[in-house]
Structure 1
Amino acid sequence: MNQLARRWKREWPLHFMVVPALIFLVLFSYIPMAGILMAFQKYIPTKGLFGSPMVGLKHFKYLLDYPDIGRIVFNTLYIATMKIIAGLVVPITIAILLNELRQEWMKRTFQTMVYLPHFLSWVLLSGIIIDVLSPSTGIINQILGLFGAKPIFFLGDNKWFPYVMVITDVWKEFGFGTIIYLAALTNINPSLYEAAEIDGAGRWKQTINVTLPGMMPIIILMLTLNIGNVLNAGFDQIFNLYSPQVYESGDVIDTFVYRMGIEQAQYGFATAVGLLKSVVSFILISVSYIMAYRFANYRIF
């Protein structure tokens, strides 16, 4: 008990600093979970959460019979999977290239430039992207026009829209991932490069045989942790860039929930979809943490 009291006396300021975050978490994450009850109700706003009639699993049955649910789930998995893959390959490549730069000022300048979009919201970036990709005045279509190509409606064509989502998301976030992989590169023993150079390995073979194996633990960790996000295709981005013209290829679970719940006032059905997605995401996150512990020796506690 004396040891526990001494430890508490030494660490109480740290626990006190956590209190605001805990209050925020309870207010905005745990208390709103009472709304899950709407998934089993015919929710009527005037009767409130505890006065609306119960309908059991009706909304879940309707979800399984919904004609577009297969396409919506496919869009979500397709876009999210491409984002996860590109979100690994691009930052790893850029980190390795930056690591090869010998001028520190050039490395820091480029790193700052690619990191900046991470701090900008999709509300702001969507306006920029819409202007850049405009079929009439956008700079991309103007450049294509110089080569005789016809204007492409990137944000209104189902063939192009998913790839635009992936490319713009990678452009926004790869700077943050680059920093993670640059930190992993600093943990590689320089003597390994010296030994490889003595054996006659050039820069390419050093990258294949020393750099990538040295980065592999963090690569495996990031990959396994991203498994939990496979049902999160990026609501903020897609909501600000999509339109009814591209529902066929761009409508994902989160945007579908928004339309059903906010625009069409089907509160119970939208809650049921969101609850089912949350349960599946929880399972995937749990599996990803188990895999991260097994393959990368990563644990939270």
Structure 2
Amino acid sequence: MRNTVVIALGTLVLGFLAPIVLALLINQIGSKGVKGFVQTITYMPHFISTVVMVSLINIFLDPNTGMIGKLFPGQILMESTNAFAPIYWLTEVWQHCGWNAIIYLAALSAVDTSLYEAAKMDGAGRLQLIRYVDIPTILPTCIVLLIMNMGSVLAVGFEKVWLMQNAMNLPVSEVISTFTYRIGIIGFQFSYGTAIGLFNTIINFIFVVTANYISKRVTETSIF
């Protein structure tokens, strides 16, 4: 449970903020050609399968041949209990940040250009445009997506964690989904595995309802 919460919260925070920052930066690019190129490069990793992604992680972090692993001599990062969660967080952001930024870019495309012109006439720079025009525009979208993401706080992806696990990092990599697989499928305790899955679903549902209630009271934006 602790491992699941640590990995899930880190993924939620970074996976929520990174696409917003990326979308705001891409929106500041003036050239359509450059903007399209940057968008393509950033969302291409989203289409890499989980198996290939974990293979790339192992290659990059190899202590002998990996270009990142060589920066940490004497350490095998994939076996480190301290490095497992950061590796998971950063690779999740790298793989999905560009794809998740598309919806924010769509919201930013609806901004009235006259707002930018008026702000520039008042002496606003790029940071002021982002703060007073862009962020208020995408804020409702951010809130809705955050509420929806709260429904998967404890639903840490099984495939990636399972493929990244080994005997050395197991104390920090065992999450609810992999534990359910070991108990329910490998251990043939189907009723116990089902109970764990039901518990996970109920907790996620409570998170969604709570986040929606708080958002509705504070910002008057909600999904139901």
Normalised by the length of structure 2, the TM-score is 0.91
Aligned with 1:104 (options 21, 32, 41): 32
Map 1:153-232 to 2 at 5 A.
Answer: 153-232=76-155
Q: Which runs of 4+ in 1 moved over 6 A?
A: none
State the one-letter code of the partner of 1:128: L
Between Structure 1 and Structure 2, whose CA radius of gyration is higher?
1
After superposition, the C-alpha distances for 1:53-96 in whole angstroms (9 at most, x for unaligned) are xxxxxxxxxxxxxxxxxxxx111111111111111211111111
Which residue is equivalent to 1:135? 63
- 3-state SS of the aligned residue for 2:79? coil
Return 259-268 or 104-113, whichever deviates more.
259-268
Which residue is equivalent to 2:164? 241
Judge conservation of contact 1:224–1:291 (CA < 8 Å) in 2: no
Normalised by the length of structure 1, the TM-score is 0.69
Q: Distance in 1 between matches of 2:92 and 2:160?
A: 8
Deviation at 1:98, TM superposition (A): 0.9
After superposition, the C-alpha distances for 1:214-234 in whole angstroms (9 at most, x for unaligned) are 111111111111111111122
Q: Distance in 1 between matches of 2:27 and 2:175?
A: 37
Do residues 296 (structure 1) and 221 (structure 2) align?
Answer: yes
Which residue is equivalent to 1:37? none
After superposition, the C-alpha distances for 1:248-299 in whole angstroms (9 at most, x for unaligned) are 2111100111111222222222222112112222333344455566632435
- 3-state SS of the aligned residue for 2:169? helix
Q: Distance in 2 between matches of 1:260 and 1:267?
A: 8
Q: How many residue pairs are counted as aligned between the two chains? A: 222
Give unmatched runs, 5+ long, in structure 1: 1-72
State the one-letter code of the partner of 1:111: Q
Q: Distance in 2 between matches of 1:95 and 1:151?
A: 38
State the one-letter code of the partner of 2:35: K
After superposition, the C-alpha distances for 1:96-127 in whole angstroms (9 at most, x for unaligned) are 11111112111111211211121222012111
Give unmatched runs, 5+ long, in structure 2: none
State the one-letter code of the partner of 2:13: I
Judge conservation of contact 1:80–1:230 (CA < 8 Å) in 2: yes
Q: Distance in 1 between matches of 2:223 and 2:195?
A: 33
Judge conservation of contact 2:104–2:138 (CA < 8 Å) in 1: yes
Identity %, equivalent residues = 34
Return 82-91 or 156-165, whichever deviates more.
82-91
After superposition, the C-alpha distances for 1:115-147 in whole angstroms (9 at most, x for unaligned) are 1121222012111111111122211123x2xxx
